[in-house]
Amino acid sequence: MPRTGVFICHCGTNIAGTVDIEKAVEASRNFPGVVHAADYRYLCSEMGQDLIKKAIVDNQLDRVVVGTCSPRMHEGTFRKAAAEAGLNPYLLEVANIREHCSWVHKDIEEATPKAISLLRAAAAKAVLNESLDAPELEVEKRALVIGGGIAGIQAAIDIAEAGYEVDVVEREPSIGGRMAQLEKTFPTLDCSACILTPKMVEAAQHPNVNLITYSEVEEVKGFVGQFDVKIRQKARSVDPVKCTGCGICYEKCPSKASSEFEMGLSKRKAIYIPFPQAVPNVPVIDRDACLYFTKGRCQICEKECPPQAIVYDQEDEIFERRYGTIIVATGFDQMNPSQYGEYGYGQHPDILTGLEFERLFNASGPTGGKVVRLSDGKPPEKVVFIQCVGSRDKARGMNYCSKICCMYTAKQAILLKEKVPDAKSYVFYIDVRTAGKGYEEFQRRAAEEYDVAYLRGQVGKIFPDGDHLVVHGVDSLSGKIIEIKADMVVLAAASIARADSPELGRIVGINSDSYHFFNEAHPKLKPVETHTAGVFIAGACQAPKDIPDTVAQASAAAVKAVGLLSKEFLKGEACTAEVNQAECSGCLYCEAVCPYSAISPVEIEERYQGGTLKRTVAEVNPALCQGCGSCTVICRSGSINLKGFSNEQILAEVDAICLQR
């Protein structure tokens, strides 16, 4: 039988005021295994801790029970004290006789027996406590950033500046992301490219940053400190080492396809860079559009390329690399509003989404920076902006606010007035939301100085009438029906999660909310962490957000990543699940319910009738296990148990608590 010492804290009068300490100490002496019981005014004080340490040594205690405040408060303190006296810290148990007893009961006659009962349960559990060690995990000193938009770029630069290697995997041929598509940014109206491209170049030139563009993450195995990641680098058909970025290839290429970067509003060549400031400035061949790949002829780019960088037979390359930490910054998509029949999107060239309209302002955009109607090339006189298209729409199950639309609409209305001084803007809105530094002032300027008419209400119908688009709405403040003969309509379509974010979430091991945005580990206190240790999130993949918030979150994620990379070893969870492989029948139900993929099958050999028999059983990776214990319940034979909260320990607590009946 282990030798247990029980120490009861008065906590001044916090405990002693409602619990008869003397009685509790006396009762504790009779618990099985208890060889020493004492009390002290403030156990958490240095004197109190010394008292425990001394008693451990003097009485050769190998179990300690403290009757104190909540273990969530001081378990760490007392474990540390026990460790300093040479005891494994996990041999200590806490009976919460303050928050769960003395503070919630008034009557000493009630609180005292309850405190004794809680102490008895803790002592019964402590007898079954075992020495535990948190696993030490090595850390690969390299970070992976998935997504090369502003969030990914910022995170990568921050990590690189801290002195660690970082790889950025970007799906598109260039980094830059959504921000690269923007003309100007609110509320200061700086040119998006002017502030973004230096950062893109900084990332590309940083010795610690390795850009892996036109690539996707295919598989993530391992765990914090040691993620083994499989990356598919798609065939670019251009040798990036030879390519000088001269641009002759795409100048000469005769084949065209719709430009993703221009939201399909214009064409690009089959060999292309997505936009003029692309980083890296290395074209790719779109094999679906290329004449050589589709029809077997042409090869003009190959003939014209001065450094002979075209490689038609290049293949996708899959390589595996180990990373200590991963930041997911995959951004967002804009919802296609064609499902909202009333707005007629997709049926008329002058009904655009916000992001499409944005491209019209850009000098390298589809109209060369002229804001004109795509139907007839004339500048618009009246433009109607409709807010919350697909946002805050309970009826269609899109309850959330896309957050950026109110502000970018104000921005676009201002830009419009500057480009087309005769133009008049109308904004249909539910509420105008402008929380953010300088945001309210910016929106007020749009309304007051740029003659933007804000109409609170909803649009029921848009239909073409001759050259115009008739917008039929209701002003919900006056109740009046409004009809505007508009030249253009701009829909603030919802920001939505990337279509494949559930798939990436599954690969990386992060879960999503019902809209497929990635979930943070805690909505307030762990906004960039995820439930998978070592995986962080930043930017609009977590929820719609603007550039300042995105950048702030990216830097926050980078700090978390750097904090992790700066450690020699990581301490894992000590209370992990453990399989009794002799008893395990190998059904692997535990594997199915494990949220951390910490359980996997393993083949063992067993003696059977003079020979050996191979069979499959479960195995826990203690580095991945977080100690939830879900596996222990699905296991009918109890062959998987949780250290620190074992079946034996919990049953012992139940027995001890019920003993007084």
Interacting positions 528-557 with other proteins (CB under 8 A): 531
Residue selected from 71, 274, 344, 534 as contacting other proteins according to rule CB under 8 A: 71
Nearer to other proteins, 70 or 281 (CB): 70
> Shortest CA distance to 179 belongs to which of 329, 6, 380?
329
Task: Closer to other proteins by CB, 176 or 505: give it.
Answer: 505
**Site membership for other proteins, residue 241 (CB under 8 A):** no
Ranges within 89-108 binding other proteins (CB under 8 A): 96, 98-101, 103-107
x/- track of binding to other proteins for residues 628-647 (CB under 8 A): xxx-xxx-xxxx--x--x-x
Q: Among residues 470, 503, 465, which one has the least CA distance to residue 489?
A: 470
| Residue 617 near residue 627 (C-beta atoms within 8 A) | no
Find the binder of other proteins among 195, 589, 597, 604 (CB under 8 A). Answer: 589
Q: Is 588 in the site for other proteins (CB under 8 A)?
A: yes
DSSP 322-347: EESEEEE---EEE--GGG-GGGTTTT
β-partners of residue 493 are 389
Which string of x and - marks every residue 596-615 that binds other proteins (by CB under 8 A)? x-----------xx---x--
Angle formed by the axes of helices 150-161 and 547-565, to 10°? 40
Q: How far is the CB of 502 from other proteins (least distance, A)?
A: 13
Parallel, antiparallel, or unpaired: how do β-strands 488-493 and 351-353 relate? parallel
Q: Considering the rule CB under 8 A, would residue 111 count as an interface residue with other proteins?
A: yes
Q: How far apart are CA 205 and CA 157, in angstroms?
A: 10
Cβ distance to other proteins smaller for residue 205 or 514: 514
Q: How far is the CB of 66 from other proteins (least distance, A)?
A: 14
Figure out which of the listed residues 8, 9, 65, 118 binds other proteins, where binding follows CB under 8 A. 118
- Sort strands 165-169 and 142-146 into parallel, antiparallel or unpaired: parallel
Residues 168, 151: contact at Cβ < 8 Å? no
Select the residue interacting with other proteins from 2, 17, 113, 464 (CB under 8 A). 113
Query: Minimum Å distance from CB 43 to other proteins?
Result: 17
H runs (alpha helix) in 404-478 = 405-419, 439-449
Q: Shortest gap between Cβ of 416 and other proteins (angstroms)?
A: 42
CA 572 – CA 533 distance, rounded (Å): 10
Count CB atoms within 10 A of the CB of residue 440: 15
Q: What number of chain residues touch other proteins (CB under 8 A)?
A: 71
x/- contact string, 21-60, with other proteins (CB under 8 A)?
A: ------x---------------------------------
Tell me which of 593, 597, 602, 604 binds other proteins, using CB under 8 A. Answer: 593
Cβ proximity of 246 and 308 under 8 Å = no
The CA distances from residue 568 to 139, 167, 292, 336, 576, in Å, are 6, 20, 52, 47, 22
According to the binding rule CB under 8 A, does residue 117 interact with other proteins?
yes
Interatomic CA distance for residues 118 and 95, integer angstroms: 6
> CB of residue 5 vs other proteins: minimum separation in angstroms?
21
Of 481 and 613, CB closest to other proteins: 613
Determine which residue in the list 592, 603, 605, 612 makes contact with other proteins, applying CB under 8 A.
Answer: 592
Query: Per CB under 8 A, does 516 bind other proteins?
Result: no
